[in-house]
Amino acid sequence: MNREKNRSDNLRIAGIGRCAGIHIRVNGRMITAFPGETVLAALTAAGYKVLKKSNVRGEARGPFCGMGVCYECLVTIDGTPKQRSCMVEVADNMEIILYEPDNG
Amino acid sequence: MNRTTVEVLIIGNGLAGIVAANRLVAAGADVMLLDENIHIGGQLLRQIPERLGSLRVYHPDYVKKIGFEFIAALRTEKIVVRNRARVLGIYPGREVLIETAEKKVSTVKAERILLATGARERFLPFRGWTMPGVLSSGAVQVLIKSSGVLPARDLVIGGSGLFLYSVAYECLKAGAKLRAVLEQTPLWNKIPLTWQLLHQLPKLTEGSRFLSKLIFSGVPLRYSTRIIEARGNGALAQVVSAPVDGKGNIVSGREKIYPTQLLATGFGFSANIELAQMAGCLSAYAAERGGWVVKTDANLETSLPGIFTAGETTGIAGGLKSICEGEIAALSILRQMGRPFGPAHEKRLAKLLRQRRHHLQFGKYFNLLYRIPAAAYLDIPDETLICRCEEVTMGDIRRAVANGYDTPATLKIALRSAMGDCQGRICGPIIYDILAALTGRSQAEMTPLVVRPPVKPVSIESLASYSE
């Protein structure tokens, strides 16, 4: 078990005894995630607020309902487009692509 | 093999589903428990997954303690549990089309079905509510409770209903800076308090615990205050609020601006009745039950023989009612299946039905107290999006209604509202309320939208995996 940092800019809540982190890639950039987190949680903790563009006007959209209802958090996961990031857990070396037209 | 048979298929593994599963498995029934979520427990019983952290549950209240005990008691060797599985449709003869976690589509033929599909949050749209940084209050709680992540270190919570206080409590405990809680309902709404509320004393004590935490943290708590705008350049930077009068109209000239990175918003809950509607079960509008609900008889059987429903689908009233109804449905199913049903069972059922009446009274009080006033919909500016998926605005709806498209079905044809990815899960309840506000008609007189399969978007690849 690693020691958690408790900086004010860290969005991960301290004190839950996290195990060792893993790595996932977001639009090619490597970020740290923790097994058991949803893809949405890992993206949120890494500071990503915009996940897709809206269907009609192409406006920036971020997560909304957080529980699989609204389809606003659609991302491409390991090549499969339109995945609800709040309903999938992270896995080591997972490849996430944001703002792909297919996810709109 | 694309087809399996079960005695009882339970759809939804929240409180009602797991209570029913326990009761049915204990009586020797062959049960399958399906849910589209990653973990068992539904929306209420969320916890940090075992492999994420050693501290698993944040501040469980007493309803959740009961719920977690039911999960622990579930004898998984005697029941088929399928998480991350989605129901695409329910067909005559109780043939249920499902997509498993592996994205394979197959049919389950069930002798009896229990729909325990729960509820989702409801919303009152405001200018900018689709902006990144505006999240539902439920989303904020899910991120904290299931993944241990705060969406931002500072936030404003705004909307209506008791749930906001629970989210506020979790955020404060997680170390967030809560700038304000904005509740649009007046502090003293004139709804007669009934003596049945006394039966819910543990819940009320819990509510006061949340409230006292808020007060002692010095968080501004504003009643009769509505969010009117979310502002920011690409992401949220400011929340604008305005006071509302006793009728629910905005009092202009007294707006207040809160700088913040995150807004958590929610206005109570809507029952998830789409699957029941798709199957052909009758639904009804009842303001005291929190909106559109599935019609049932006293035994929680729907209008379709062999299909039962329990929990929030019959009326929004919280966890205790779901626990109670889960057991009522299980007992009704066992009796219908011809399983041994003696005087002890009859006595238990009678007791549960009495409890259910108290829970419904409790729900009625809060559903009427926090009901969104018609004036709130009439105050929505024209440019505000209502259907987030198809990007239909309030102005589009006003014009369509003025042109005679004033029923849920004709409005959908005219504007494509409720036809996007979420299939009207978010805008559906809002549009019914808007139609009622614009036309002055009661929703009870409206014909609900027809729900067709697949009830959730599915890939052609998944469907292609199906063969007879």
Q: Cα separation of B229 and B213, whole Å?
A: 27
Distance (Å, whole) CA B303 – CA B296 = 6
Backbone angles phi, psi at B454, to 5 degrees: -75, 135
**B280 token code pair:** 């052909």
Whether A2 contacts chain B with CB within 8 A: no
pLDDT of residue B380: 98
For chain B, the domain total comes to 3
What are B72-97's pLDDT values in tens digits?
999 888 999 999 999 999 999 999 99
Q: What angle do CA B90, A55, A103 make, to 5 degrees?
A: 70
Per the model's pLDDT, the better-predicted residue between B204 and A63 turns out to be A63
Q: How far apart are the first and last CA of chain B?
A: 8
Residue B189: predicted pLDDT: 65
Judge if B32 and B76 occupy the same domain: yes
Are B212 and B233 in contact by the 8 Å Cβ rule? The answer is no
B374, part of any domain:
no
Smallest Cα distance from B391 to chain A, Å: 7
Residues B249, B145: one domain?
A: yes
What is the model's pLDDT at position B170?
92
**Can you give the CATH number for the domain in which B128 is found?**
3.50.50.60
pLDDT digits (tens, 9 = 90+) for B9-24: 999 999 999 999 999 9
Query: Does B139 contact A65 at a Cβ distance shorter than 8 Å?
Result: yes
Q: Which residue of A24, A49, A50, A92 is the best one to mutate when testing the B interface, meaning the one whose CB has the most B CBs within 10 A? A: A49
pLDDT bin (cut points 50, 70, 90) of residue A3 is very low
- Do B150 and B205 reside in the same domain of the chain? yes
Average pLDDT over residues B53-67: 84
Which of B84, B147, B169, B458 to probe the A interface (max A CBs under 10 A)? B147
Work out whether strand B307-309 and strand B105-115 pair parallel, antiparallel, or are unpaired.
parallel
pLDDT at B199: 65
Q: Does B57 touch chain A (CB under 8 A)?
A: no
pLDDT value at position B58? 75
Of the partner residues A9, A51, A57, the one whose CB lies closest to the CB of residue B391: A57
pTM across the whole model? 0.95
Higher pLDDT, B1 or A12: A12
Q: Which of B142, B148, B234 sits opposite A13 (nearest CB)?
A: B148
- Can you tell me the mean pLDDT for B371-394? 97
Which ranges of B337-422 would DSSP assign to H, the alpha helix? Answer: 343-369, 374-378, 394-402, 408-415
Give which of B149, B163, B385, B388 to mutate to test A binding, by max A Cβ within 10 Å. Answer: B149
**Residue A2 scores a pLDDT above 50:** no
Same domain membership, residue B225 and residue B176: yes
Task: Give domain status of residue B364, yes or no.
Answer: no
Print the domain residue range for B50.
Answer: 3-120+270-341
Residue B163, in any domain of the structure? yes
Q: How far apart are CA B296 and CA B307, in angstroms?
A: 10
Q: Would the pLDDT of B192 be above 90?
A: no
Contact yes or no for B13/B83 (Cβ under 8 A): yes
**CA of A67: which chain B residue's CA is closest?**
B139
Domain boundary among B216, B249, B267: B267
Residue A28 confidence (pLDDT): 96
pLDDT given for residue B194 in this prediction: 59
Mark which of B341, B371, B396 sits at the end of a domain: B341
B259 and B148: one domain?
yes
* Residue B151 placed within a domain: yes
Question: pLDDT by residue (tens digit) across B107-143?
Answer: 999 999 999 999 999 999 999 999 999 999 999 999 9
State the distance between the two ends of chain A, measured CA to CA, in whole angstroms: 39
Q: Within this chain, do residues B129 and B211 fall inside the same structural domain, yes or no?
A: yes
What are the distances in angstroms from CA B43 to CA A43, B64, B117, B317, B375? Answer: 21, 11, 10, 14, 31
Size of interface A-B (CB pairs under 8 A): 155
Domain contains B458:
no
User: pLDDT at position B319, please?
Assistant: 94
pLDDT at A102: 67
**Interchain proximity A19–B53, CB inside 8 Å:** yes
Residue contact A16–B84, C-beta within 8 A: no
- Which residue among B138, B152, B457 sits closest to A65, beta carbon to beta carbon? B138
- CA-based nearest distance B120→chain A, Å: 8
Distance of CA A83 to the CA centre of its chain: 11
- For residue B313, is it within any domain? yes
Is residue B230 domain-shared with residue B278, that is, in the same domain? Answer: no
Q: What is the ipTM of this complex?
A: 0.94
Question: pLDDT, tens digit, for every residue of B306-354?
Answer: 999 999 999 999 999 999 999 999 999 999 999 999 999 999 999 999 9
Model confidence band, residue B193 (pLDDT cutoffs 50, 70, 90)? low
Amino acid at B213: K
Query: Is B368 inside any structural domain?
Result: no
Residue A82 distance to chain B (closest CA, Å)? 10
Q: How far is CA B362 from the centre of its chain?
A: 17
Residue B227 within any structural domain of the chain: yes
> Which domains can be identified in chain A, with CATH numbers?
22-103 (3.10.20.440)
Q: What was the pLDDT predicted at B403?
A: 97
Q: Poorest-confidence range of A42-56, B139-153, B184-198?
A: B184-198
Mean local confidence (pLDDT), B247-258: 95
Two tokens at B427?
């805008």
Cβ–Cβ gap B50/A59 under 8 Å: no
Which residues, including other chains, have CB under 8 Å from residue B145's CB and lie 6 or more apart?
Answer: B46, B47, B48, B58, B170
Contacts with B51 from chain A: Cβ below 8 Å: 19, 35-36
Q: Which residue reads 């005219």 in tokens?
A: B414
CB-closest option in B132, B144, B422 to A62? B132
d(CA B271, CA B315): 7
CA distance B73 to chain A (A): 23
What are residue A25's DSSP bridge partners?
A: A30, A95
Q: How far is CA B255 from CA B233, B252, B261, in A?
A: 20, 7, 19
B307 lies within 8 A of chain A by CB? no
Closest in B138, B148, B234 to A16, CB measured: B148
Could you give the CA distance from residue B146 to residue B57 in angstroms, rounded to a whole number? 9
Residue in chain B nearest A73 by alpha carbon: B132
3-state secondary structure of B427: helix
Of B84, B151, B426, the CB nearest to A44: B151
CA B309 to CA B301: how far, in whole Å? Answer: 6
Contacts of the segment B72-78: beta carbons below 8 A, 24+ positions apart? B73/B22, B74/B18, B74/B21, B74/B22, B74/B25, B74/B40, B75/B25, B78/B25, B78/B31
Q: What's the pLDDT score for residue B161?
A: 93
Whether residues B129 and B176 share a domain: the answer is: yes
pLDDT of residue B468: 63
Say whether both B185 and B246 belong to one domain.
yes
Q: Which residues 20-59 of chain A have a CB within 8 Å of chain B?
A: 34-38, 40-42, 44-45, 49-51, 54-57, 59
The answer to whether residues B113 and B39 belong to one domain is yes
Given B267, B301, B318, the domain boundary residue is B267
CB-based contact B55 A16, cutoff 8 Å: yes
Q: What pLDDT shows up at residue B316? A: 97
Beta-bridge partners for B221: B181
Residue B465: per-residue pLDDT: 87
Tell me: the pLDDT tens digits for A12-65?
999 888 989 999 999 999 999 999 999 999 999 999 999 999 999 999 999 999
- Same domain for B111 and B131, yes or no, is no
Give pLDDT, residue A4: 41
Q: Which residue on chain A is closest to B152 by alpha carbon?
A: A11
Q: Are B161 and B367 in contact (CB under 8 A)?
A: no
B106 & B145 share domain: no
Answer whether B263 touches A (CB < 8 Å). no
Q: Kindly tell me if the per-residue pLDDT of B101 is higher than 70.
A: yes
